[in-house]
Amino acid sequence: MRARRDGCSVAVTAILLAVLGSPAAVAQPGGRDVTADIQANRNVTLNGDAVVRLTGGVTTYTGVITGEGVFTVGGTGTLVLVKNSDFALPANRRRQKVVTVGGNHPVTTIQNPDPPAVIVQRGATLQYGSGSGGDGFIGHVTQAPEVSLNTLNHQVDGTLDLALHRRVNLGVISGSGLVKQRRGTWPGIDLPGTHPFAGTLYVGTGADYGSLHYLTAMPKVRKVVNQGSFIHNAPDAEVVTNAADIYSQFYGNDINFHTWGSGVVRMSGVYSWSDNGSDTDPALSNPSRNFATVPHRDNKRGINIEGATVTWGDGTHNRFFLPGNENTVYINMHAERNGTRSVLKFDYNGPVTLDAPISGGKFHDTMADVGRGDVVIAPTRGNAVTFTAPQNYDGNTTIGAGASLRLGDGSPQGDSALLRTGKIVDDGELIVQNATRGVELSRISGSGSVTQAGPATTTLTGDLTYTGRTTVKAGTLAVTGGALAASNAVDLPAAGTRLDLTRAGDQTVNNLSGAEGSTVAGGGTLTVHATNATTFGGALTATGGITKTGAETLTLTGAHATPDSPWTVGEGTLALGGSVQARSLTVQPAATLRATGTVEGPVDNAGTVDASGLTVRGDYTQRPGARLTGTRMSVSGAVTLAGTFAPDPAHGPGVIIDNLGTAQVSGTFDGLPEGASLGALRLTYRGGDGNDVALTSDPTSPDATTQQAASGSSLKLLWWLLAAGALVLVVALVLLLRRRSRNQ
């Protein structure tokens, strides 16, 4: 039995040898060990997988690797290649396809990538090039339109050190180690494809993340060290996304953006300084160091948008892409030679702050020219962007629905501004909160709101067509051009706030509300239009007069001093609880003045006056067809009456119009001559002190006649009762006298 088993074993072994070849070719971790060949600088021909096991130090290899298989670098230490090697993955492992679409601007993608052909294990380093002369590299290149692709994909769990002075393509990169390109090794790295690499990318000189002709995605990379130019590009109609946090370590690095057509580059990480950690795991000791100038300006980093469309944030967080100020970061927006301008979009779901200017100079000299492009605050709910530096781009600023843009943070160091060359499209909320520097904003449109929230004056000019609410929470909002007529409401919720329209001519404000101590000052005719019932407790002034329009009620509780200007109630109701000093106040036929306050000036009523304690220090004229209701008003001037009168049903006898002048009332109410009956009362135009309009008791009314008849009947009954009593008393007295006479 033992011999049989041994015979079987020998037979099986023979079969395996026949199939697989010599024992050295039998599969083992990493494949055939070629360490000795590498150390002896012998050329290596792959006939399957091979591995070199480093034992520390630096091994410089001057040979080349050819054949078919997978090459693995393991162990510890560094393997330096100074010559180019070219081999292929075995045919049974090749599956990836290179697909190119498009016409004049073809775009190439890699589908179903091959497994890695070059593997750098954890603890090992593979160095391409000597850094000073030899440019050794492993690659098998295939040509696609406008791009050369390396078909030998790389898995890097250790370190891949790129010391090459040539353009490098690593195929599809995987693993979790470090891919490091040294400084000064132009022209840089190409990164076509979707890379499952989850390690750290170190850009020492330059790297192309996407291009006009290919897409790049590295969704698992969380950190990039940028010490050169990290160039991002998106082809037409494509979105290239980079979610990595990017760190700089020394002065002189930047990120450049290029896109074609409707292509977009989206950055959703943070571009920060790194003052500690390692190349593999860069870090910043304190976030405040992004804002403080350090020796040699080592923490200064910048952005160049070259006629591209760029988005910061992806709408899922509020980790701001570029923390820093004008001393530590720069942002340049340029236009392409063909006229294509840059677009920078902010897309966050919470508050973020840009503390640096967006401008258009060259590299660090960012303020040498204006920025050529537009800024968009994406319509993401909660997207609240604050600018704390004066902006220097010449294009439009768009605020999406549900988002807000705040100019200034309320501190003297945090004032901001926009150039007047661009328009503001406001579909969200524009808030101006400057502390010391006034700002002028031109041409605001959209469905959003405008809020003045700082002590420094904000001036609006140009074409103002935004339809949202206008709020003055602090300081002064001035309008010097355009009109607020499109804004659906105006509110001044705090004392001391001011809406200054004195240089804007005739103006219309809708649905005015405000607190006591606020002011709206007009320079021409100020029309206050009410489509909602509102209350304004502040003061209205206007050199051209004030007109109330709209079907709803405007309630005024403050004091309004416009002695040389007329007031007109044209529509709806003006409820006057405060005082108006005016040249005149006219109530038109479709309008109502409901007043408990004071009018310093004549009142001309062609509509309705509902007076409940109204004081008119001037004439009161009521036109034919007009109406007076209420309980009482006093008039210091002449009283001229026509139209109708409807007293308060609860009003008893008393003065209706207290005529404080000496002249008699002129005219009468329609159908109500002197002494006319109004229920149980009668109307007189000579009541009170002789010239007041009053209601008095009316003895000729049916109610009064009934009362008199009842009173007469009662008196007759009382007289008969008294007479009967007297008769009984006389009879009793006579009987008493007779009885006494008999007794005598």
Q: Is 9 helix (H, G, I), strand (E, B) or coil?
A: helix
At residue 673, the pLDDT reads 97
- Residue 10 CA to residue 27 CA, distance in Å, equals 19
Residue 340: what pLDDT?
96
Q: Where are the domains of the chain?
A: 28-221, 256-395
DSSP 654-721: EEEEEE-SSSPPEE-BTTB-TT-EETTEEEEEEETTTTEEEEEE-TTSHHHHHHHHHHHHHHHHHHHH
Q: What pLDDT, on a 0 to 100 scale, did the predictor assign at position 732?
A: 57
The alpha carbons of the chain give a radius of gyration, in whole angstroms, of 46
615 touches 596 (CB < 8 A): no
| Angle, CA 329 vertex, CA 327 and CA 332 arms, to 5° | 120
Per this entry, what is the length of the chain? 744
In sequence order, the β-bridge partners of residue 245 are 223
pLDDT at residue 727 tops 70: no
Distance of alpha carbon 155 from alpha carbon 133, whole angstroms: 26
Strand pairing class (526-529; 309-312): unpaired
| Of 314, 329, 193, 318, nearest in space to 265 by CA | 314
Residues 359 and 348: their CA atoms lie apart, in Å, by: 22
Angle at 686 between CA 680 and CA 690, to 5 degrees: 130
Instruction: State the average pLDDT over residues 54-62.
Output: 97
Phi-psi region of 75 (alpha: psi -120 to 50; beta: other; left: phi over 0): left
Read off the tokens for 601. 């000036």
CA–chain centroid gap for 455, Å, is 21
Q: What is the model's pLDDT at position 738?
A: 57
Question: By the 8 A CB rule, do 174 and 154 touch?
Answer: yes
The lowest-confidence range among 129-133, 150-154, 624-628 is 129-133
What per-residue confidence (pLDDT) applies to 672? 97
Q: How far apart are CA 155 and CA 731, in angstroms?
A: 145
Torsion sign (Cα): 371, 373, 374, 380: negative
Q: Which of 58, 180, 176, 192 is nearest to 119 (CA)?
A: 176
Pairing between β-strand 329-334 and β-strand 301-306 as defined by DSSP bridges:
parallel
Query: Tokens 């206008």 — which residue?
Result: 470
List, for residues 124-140, the tens digit of each pLDDT value. Answer: 999 999 987 789 999 99
pLDDT digits (tens, 9 = 90+) for 514-525: 999 999 999 999
pTM of the complete model: 0.87
Q: What are phi and psi of 559, to 5 degrees?
A: -105, 130
Distance CA 109, CA 499 (A): 58
- In this predicted structure, which of 58-67, 96-105, 288-297 has the lowest mean pLDDT? 96-105
Whether 726 has a pLDDT exceeding 70, the answer reads: no
Q: Are 315 and 380 in contact (CB under 8 A)?
A: yes
